[in-house]
Structure 1
Amino acid sequence: MEFSNKLQKLPTQFFAALVQKVNAAIAEGRDVINLGQGNPDRPTPAHIIKALQQASENPQTHKYSPFRGIQELKEAAANFYKREYNVDIDPNTEVAILGGSKIGLVELPMAILNPGDYMLLPDPGYPDYLSGVALGDVHFDTMPLREENEFLPDYNALSDEVKQRAKLMYLNYPNNPTGGTADLEFFNKTVEFSKESEIAVVHDFAYGAIGFDGQRPVSFLQADGAKEVGVELYTLSKTYNMAGWRVGFAVGNADIIEAINLIQDHLFCSIFPGIQYAAIAALDGEQDCVDEQCVIYENRRNALIREAKRIGWDVKAPKGSFFAWLPVPDGYTSEQFADLLLDKADVAVAAGNGFGEYGEGYIRVGLLVSEDRLTEAISRIEKLNIFKVKNVLISN
C-alpha cells in the first residue's frame, strides 16, 4: 500500500538520521560524547514527580480528560504568565493545552491556513517546522538569521512579494539552533510588522527559562499589542526537564487559540489527567529548581567556550537556550566537519545545514552533558590539530 501524497511530502527526519549515526558508533563500543542531542539530561524535579504519583492514585484521573484540558491547568498557565511576565491571560479563551509544543507547531498551519497559502520560517530553524508545512499543504519563504544581525530576522530585507503573500510567521527565541535572544524592542517591531503586513505570529518559547549573563528571556506577549496578532507556545520540557512527559500550552490571541482547540477536538482527547496535575505543580510551585538549572547550563556554556577558545577555535558564547552555535573551520562543510568529529574524535554534534540553508558553516553543540565531558570533548577535538592557537606576547 502506498503512503498518501501528504505523507510522501514529509521531510526526512533530520534528528533520526543523527541518532542512527551515533547509535552505530556506540554499538562498536566507542565512548561517544553526544553533543548533538536536544534531550535534557537532568531528572524532573521531585515535587513534580510526587504530584503525578498522587494524581495517578486517584481513580478520577483514570477517566477521559476534558477534550480541551482541565480548567485548573489553564488557570495555572495564566497565573504563570502573570507572575513571570506580567501578562494577563484569560484561561477560558486564551489558553490551549498541548501534548508538547511540537504538536501546536505542526498543527497550526492546518488550523489557520489553506492549501497553497504561504508562511515565513526562520532559517536556520527547528526542522520540524517543515512538518507543519507539508501536512498543511502550504508553501514557505525563509527569513535568514545571520550572525551579523544577532540571529534576528531583518524584516526590511524581505521583498514586497514575500510580505504580501505570507499569512503566518514563526519565531523562536531563545533560538534553536543559534542560541540567539530577542529583546522587547525586537518584539515591538515584530508586532508593527505583523499589523502592517497582516501576518499572524507564532512565537516558539521552548527555551524561555534559559537565559545567561543575568538576562532573562523576554516573552513575545510582553510586546504592546502582541495578543492582537499572535500566540506564544510554551513547553514544560526544558523548563522542568519534562521532555518525555509531553505537556505544554499555547497562550495569546483568542481566535488562534480557538483554532488550535478546534483541530485538537478532532485529533486528540487531551492529555492523561495525572500529567496535567503534575504540570500544575510545576507551574504553581517554587521555581528554585528552574533557577538552579539555568546556572548549571551557564556553567557548562562557560566551560565549553573557554576550552574552545583555548585551542584556537574562534567561537561566541550563546545568550540563551542550551545550545551553542559554533563556526566550522575553513575547508569543511558543516556535514563534513560533523562526520569528522564523530569518526575521529568520538564527539557527536549536529551539522548546521540540517537546520536550513543559512545553517551551513556551523555546528550545533548541546550543553546537555557535564562540564567534565564538555571539556573532554574539546580536548579530543584539539588532538585533531585543526585549530591553531594564536601566539600571545606576554610581557613581564
Structure 2
Amino acid sequence: MNDDFYRIRRMPPYVFAEVNAMKAAARARGEDIVDLGMGNPDGAPPAHVVEKLAEVARDPRAHRYSASKGIAGLRRAQAAYYQRRFDVALDPDSEVIVTLGSKEGLANLAQAITAPGDVVLAPNPSYPIHQFGFIIAGAAIRSIPAAPGPDFFTRLEFAIRYTVPKPTVLVIGYPSNPTAYVADLDFYRKVVDFAREHKLWVISDLAYAEIYFGDTPTPSILEVLGAKEVAVEFTSMSKTYSMAGWRIGFAVGNPTLIAALARVKSYLDYGAFTPVQAAAVAALNGPQDIVAHNRALYKGRRDCLIESFGRAGWEIQKPEASMFAWTPIPEPFRHLGSMEFAKRLLAEAGVAVAPGVGFGEEGEGFVRIALVENEHRLRQAARAVKKFLASAD
C-alpha cells in the first residue's frame, strides 16, 4: 500500500508544531508560559452577541443544516459593513459569501481556481495559507516581497516577464501577518492596474482591517475603481469581534471568484452552525463598541511591549497595525536562527514566540510576537527576557 501521498509530500512539517509541543510539555510540568506565539485573541465577544447565539440555539429548527454560502441575513450584514466602512456597494447574493473563517475560505478558493502547474504570486514572509493553500491545490509559488514598497512592483514585473507559465493569481494581505506592513489606496490602485493589464486574479486578505493604530483607517482594495473586475477580499470576525473560535469569515468582490468558491463549498460543507451565523449578524449590525475597544486594547499592549522589552534590551520596531510585532532576533542570538532561538527563549525564559522561518524562508532571522497577553503578563515576559539576554555569552 502506497503511503507516499502527493499533497502531503508538498507540505513540510508544520514549523510551529515543535514549539507548540514544547509549550504543552512545559505546562504539563506546571511551568508558567507567557504565550506570545499564536495569534489567539484572549477577549470575549460582546454580551449581546453571545445572547443571540443562545437565543437562536434554543429554537429546535436552528439545528438543521445551514446554508453553505451563508444565511441571507449575514451576507446582507457584511454588505452593509462594506458600505458604511469603505463606501463599497456589494450585491449580497453574487458578491458576498460566508466562510468558515478566512483560512478555510482562502484554501477552498485556491482549490476552486487552481489547475496543477499554475503559478501563483504570494508574499514571503506571509501567513502560511497564502502559499500552502495553493501548493495543496497543485500550484507552484513564486515569492514576491511582503513590503508594499517600490521593490514590490519591480519584482511583479520580473515575475510576469520571466515566469513560465504566466502567473494567474496574486495574493496580498495588509495589514500583514506576520510583518504588520500596511498599504494605502495608492498601492492598491497600482495593484489593480497591474492585475487588469496582465489578467491576474487578486486575492486580498484584510483580516486585520479594524486593528490599526494611526488616525487613518485601513483601506480596502475594493475602494479602487474597477477592483471588482479582478479582486476578491477576505475578512474575518476573529480579531475584530474576539470571535476566533466561532470560525466566521467572508469573501467579497468579484462575482466570478465568489461563484467558484460557492461551487466548491457546496460540495464540502453545509455552512456554519445557524445560531453562530445569527450571532455574527448581531455583531455586525449591533453596537460597535467592541471594535474600538479591541483597537485600543491592542494599541495599549503594543506600547507596553515596545517599552518593557526595550528596557529589557530588546528593541522592537513599533507596528502600525495588526496584533503582531515583527522583530529581528537580538544580535547575540542571531546565529541560532529563528527556530532555535524560539526554542531557547521558551525553555530558558518561559516566553513563547513564533519563529519567523515558519512564515517563509524570508522570515528567517525574525520572530513574530503576538499581543495576546495582558500588560501585566507582557511586563512579566520582559523581566524574563532581560535575564535571558544577560545570559547571551
Correspondence 1:341 to 2:345: yes
Moved more, 306-315 or 98-107: 306-315
Q: Does 1:65 align with 2:63?
A: no
On the 8 A contact 1:122/1:153 being kept in 2, the answer is no
1:150-299 paired onto structure 2 within 5 Å = 154-158=152-156, 159=158, 160-162=161-163, 165-299=166-300
SS at match of 1:128: helix
Contact 1:164 1:197 in 2 (8 A): no
CA distance in 1: counterparts of 2:103 and 2:4, whole angstroms: 23
Aligned to 2:96: 95
Compared with structure 1, are the counterparts of its residues 168 and 153 closer, same or farther at alpha carbon in structure 2 (3 Å cutoff)? farther
Distance 2:271 2:151 in 1: 35
CA contact (8 A) 1:352 1:364 kept: yes
Work out the CA distance in 2 between the residues paired with 1:207 and 1:126: 12
SS in 2 for 1:116: coil
> Once the 2 structures are TM-superposed, how far is the Cα of residue 163 of structure 1 from its aligned partner?
8.9
Structure 2 counterpart of 1:367, from 361, 368, 371: 371
Are the equivalent residues in 2 in contact too, given 1:312–1:387 (CA < 8 A)? no
Query: What's the secondary structure of 2:373's corresponding residue?
Result: coil
- Structure 2 contact 114–134 (Cα < 8 Å) conserved: no
8 Å contact 2:309–2:385 — kept in the other structure? no
Q: State the match for 1:376 in structure 2.
A: 380
Q: Secondary structure at the match of 2:235?
A: strand
CA contact (8 A) 2:175 2:183 kept: yes
Aligned partner of residue 168 in structure 2, secondary structure: strand
* Paired letter, 1:253: N
Instruction: Give the residue type in structure 1 aligned to 2:353.
Output: V
Instruction: Give the counterpart letter for 1:243 in structure 2.
Output: A
Q: Shift in Å at residue 16 of structure 1?
A: 3.0
Q: Which residue of 2 aligns with 1:391?
A: none
Spell out, residue by residue over 1:200-220, the C-alpha distance to the aligned partner (whole angstroms, 9 max, x if none): 111111111100132321112
- Aligned-partner Cα distance in 1 for 2:154–2:10: 31
Over residues 234-266 of structure 1, what are the superposed CA-to-partner deviations in whole Å (9 max), with x where a residue is unaligned?
Answer: 111111111111111100000000000001111
Per-residue deviation, residues 279-327 of structure 1 (Å, max 9, x unmatched): 1011111111110111010000001011222233332100111000111
Distance 2:316 2:213 in 1: 16
Report deviation, 1:25: 1.5
SS of 1:119's partner is strand
For 1:83 and 1:387, locate their aligned partners in 2 and report how far apart those are by CA, in whole Å.
52
For 2:379, give the aligned amino acid. T
Show the counterpart of 1:133. 134
Residue 364 of structure 1 aligns to a residue whose secondary structure is strand
- In 2: Cα distance, 1:182 partner to 1:14 partner: 28
AA partner of residue 85 (structure 2): E
Q: Secondary structure at the match of 1:212?
A: coil
**In structure 1, distance between residues paired with 2:155 and 2:65:** 49
Give the CA deviation at 1:26: 1.4
* 1:112 maps to amino acid: I
Counterparts of 2:288 and 2:255, CA distance in 1: 28
Q: Distance in 2 between matches of 1:101 and 1:116?
A: 24
Give the percent of matched residue pairs that are identical in Structure 1 and Structure 2. Answer: 39
2:355 maps to which of 338, 351, 354: 351
Gaps of 5+ in 2: none
CA distance in 1, matches of 2:27, 2:163: 45
> Which residue number corresponds to residue 113 of structure 2?
112
After TM superposition, give the deviation of residue 362 of structure 1 in Å: 0.9
Tell me the CA shift for residue 110 of structure 1.
1.5
Question: In 2, Cα distance between the equivalents of 1:13 and 1:216?
Answer: 34
> Aligned residues, how many?
385
SS in structure 2 of the partner of residue 384 of structure 1: helix
Segments of 4+ moved more than 4 angstroms: none
Distance in 1 between residues matched to 2:155 and 2:93, nearest whole Å: 39
Matches of 2:15 and 2:208, distance apart in 1: 20
Quote the residue 1:33 is aligned against.
34
Deviation at 1:387, TM superposition (A): 9.9
Q: Secondary structure at the match of 1:203?
A: strand
Q: Say which is worse superposed, 45-54 or 23-32, in terms of deviation.
A: 23-32
Cα distance in 1 for partners of 2:186, 2:258 equals 25
Letter matched to residue 287 of structure 1: Q
Asked if 1:83 corresponds to 2:107, the answer is no
CA distance in 1, matches of 2:151, 2:57: 45
